[in-house]
């Protein structure tokens, strides 16, 4: 087969990967010279711990397996099975961790409750004050700023893959074909539109009532920490954000412990992962109402700094970069992704939300299976 993939973010690139793996020819078209959207502006976390039970968790676990296999073949991904720790400080937060351990799928996630000393033995950089920590063994990480380039480099070795950057697809032409803004028509046996947060233009014309929204976030990255941060780190606000922790214990936490006003106002949680150069990627905020702000707000960064320093027990290294990003999320947030045939031979795959980096290999695998690649 000949497969046309539109979009070079992680979802699009994983569709290209699966098509090439199955022996097909792929043409991947990207409107930028290289991907520049949410696939780069994220933590690079393969985040299993907080996923909703059922389809979402199954997708994340399958994706985790696929990421590990691809990482063995493509060292440039920087895949590492680092796991994650969520330190807790009081009985209300501890109760949510205990409830997570009682889930039927706790073992599949690799949950374990560690004492503070056990957590510090696993991640010695956590010298701050906390009572215990929820460990998730199945969490992992890759390097988001270079992952797409590494995957593209490997795909080019196949001889079955062509990358066309700096071309925006403007129109679907008949069956299985699209026209780009250079006037070129690209025809295949299947076209997959993986357009990420680009929901206007052609996407709006194809699906005017698309059940997908855009979400804006703020993040930052520091200079090297000077020591290993051996696991990813979250805070108890992640309990409020991720569906795996919903239940009576979380209700009691929400009722008995007010969220920090800045965190509440910006719908925040702490997630932190160390990059290969030793710096820390730290975030994040969530903004859902349009129009989005055009600038970044300092208060969330100040809040994140306080939380991180309380866990590390030391000052945060100097911040090198701050940025905002936008991703596409299904309006029904229980859905992993929106997958729709929009014309004969043309499919749209978008809206994974904050699951994109985690779940993309399994999302693409399912598309390939359903389309009979």
Task: Give yes or no for residue 341 having a pLDDT over 90.
Answer: yes
Percent helix, percent strand, percent coil in the chain, to nearest 5: 35, 25, 40
Distance (Å, whole) CA 173 – CA 166: 20
Q: Give the C-alpha distances (Å, rounded to integers) separating 273 from 49, 149, 277, 327.
A: 14, 20, 12, 20
Question: What is the pTM assigned to this prediction?
Answer: 0.97
Listing DSSP states for 196-258 in one string gives TT--STHHHHH-TT--EEEEEEEEEEESP-SS---SEEE-THHHHHSGGG-SHHHHHHHHHSP
Let me know: does 251 contact 316? Beta carbons within 8 Å: no
Q: How far is CA 318 from CA 41, 123, 187, 275, in A?
A: 19, 21, 49, 15
Q: Distance between CA 38 and CA 324 in Å, rounded?
A: 9
143-155 confidence digits (pLDDT tens): 999 999 999 999 9
To the nearest 10°, the Cα dihedral for 17, 272, 219, 164?
-10
How many helices and strands in the chain, by DSSP H and E? Answer: 12, 19
Domain boundaries, the chain: 1-83+139-210+334-373, 94-137+212-330
CA dihedral 188, 192, 198, 199 (to 10 degrees): 110
Q: What is the pLDDT of residue 276?
A: 95
Q: Give the residue among 364, 369, 327 at the shortest CA–CA distance from 66.
A: 364
User: Is CATH 3.40.630.10 correct for 94-137+212-330?
Assistant: no
pLDDT of 205-239, one tens digit each? Answer: 999 999 999 999 999 999 999 999 999 999 999 99
Q: What's the pLDDT at 169?
A: 97
Tally the residues of the chain. Answer: 373
Find out whether 133 and 85 touch, Cβ atoms under 8 Å.
Answer: yes
User: Does the pLDDT at position 36 exceed 90?
Assistant: no
Tokens of 96: 């949510």
Q: For 101-112, what is the mean pLDDT? A: 98
Domain boundaries 1-83+139-210+334-373, corresponding CATH code: 3.50.50.60
Quote the percentage of the chain above a pLDDT of 70: 100
Mean pLDDT on 303-307: 98
- Give yes or no for residue 328 having a pLDDT over 90: yes
**Using an 8 Å Cβ cutoff, are 289 and 311 in contact?**
no
Nearest alpha-carbon partner for 163 in 35, 39, 26, 36: 26
pLDDT digits (tens, 9 = 90+) for 192-208: 999 999 999 999 999 99
Measured CA to CA, the distance from residue 129 to residue 182 in angstroms comes to 58
Is the CB of residue 40 less than 8 Å from the CB of residue 143? Answer: no
Q: What is the reported pLDDT for 206?
A: 97
Q: Which of 80, 350, 373 is nearest to 212 (CA)?
A: 350
Taking residues 3-32, what's their average pLDDT? 97
* Measured CA distances, 35 to 172, 188, 272 (Å): 22, 22, 23
For range 109-115, the mean pLDDT: 98
C-alpha dihedral, 301 to 303 to 305 to 310, nearest 10°: -170
Task: Measure the CA–CA gap between 357 and 40, rounded to whole angstroms.
Answer: 9
Q: Pull the structure tokens for residue 16.
A: 């290209």
Check residue 222 and give its pLDDT.
Answer: 98
Query: Binning pLDDT at 50, 70 and 90, where does residue 185 land?
Result: very high
Written as six digits, the tokens of 153 are 């480099």
Burial level of 234, CB count in 10 A (0-12/13-18/19+)? Answer: buried
State the pLDDT at residue 176: 94
């Amino acid at each position: 087969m000949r497969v046309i993939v539109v979009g070079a973010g992680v979802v699009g690139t994983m569709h290209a990967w699966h098509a090439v793996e199955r022996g097909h020819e792929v043409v991947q078209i990207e409107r930028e010279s290289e991907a520049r959207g949410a696939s780069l502006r994220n933590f690079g976390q393969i985040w299993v711990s907080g996923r909703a039970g059922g389809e979402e968790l199954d997708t994340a676990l399958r994706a985790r397996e696929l990421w590990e296999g691809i990482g063995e073949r493509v060292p440039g991904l920087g895949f590492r099975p680092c796991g994650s720790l969520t330190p807790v400080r009081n009985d209300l937060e501890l109760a949510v961790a205990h409830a997570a351990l009682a889930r039927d799928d706790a073992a599949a996630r690799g949950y374990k409750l560690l004492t503070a000393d056990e957590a510090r033995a696993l991640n010695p950089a956590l010298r701050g004050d906390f009572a215990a920590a929820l460990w998730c063994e199945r969490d992992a990480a890759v390097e988001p700023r270079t992952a797409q380039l590494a995957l593209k480099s490997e795909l080019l070795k196949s001889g079955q893959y062509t990358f066309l950057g700096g071309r925006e697809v403007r129109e679907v032409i008949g069956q299985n074909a699209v026209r780009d803004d250079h006037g070129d028509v690209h025809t295949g046996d299947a076209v997959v539109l993986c357009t990420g947060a680009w929901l206007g233009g052609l996407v709006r014309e194809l699906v005017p009532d698309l059940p997908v929204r855009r979400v804006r976030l703020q993040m930052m990255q520091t200079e090297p920490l000077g020591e290993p941060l051996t696991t990813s780190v979250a805070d108890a606000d992640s309990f409020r954000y991720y569906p795996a922790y919903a239940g009576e214990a979380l209700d009691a936490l929400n009722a008995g412990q007010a969220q920090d006003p800045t965190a509440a106002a910006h719908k925040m949680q702490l997630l932190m992962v160390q990059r290969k150069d030793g710096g820390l990627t730290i975030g994040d905020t969530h903004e859902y109402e349009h129009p989005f702000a055009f600038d970044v707000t300092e208060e969330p960064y100040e809040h994140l700094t306080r939380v991180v320093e309380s866990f590390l027990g030391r000052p945060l290294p100097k911040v090198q970069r701050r940025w905002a990003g936008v991703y596409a999320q299904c309006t029904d947030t229980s859905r992993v992704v929106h997958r729709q045939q929009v014309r004969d031979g043309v499919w749209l795959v978008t809206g994974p939300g904050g699951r994109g980096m985690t779940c993309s290999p399994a999302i693409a695998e399912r598309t390939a299976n359903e389309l009979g690649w």
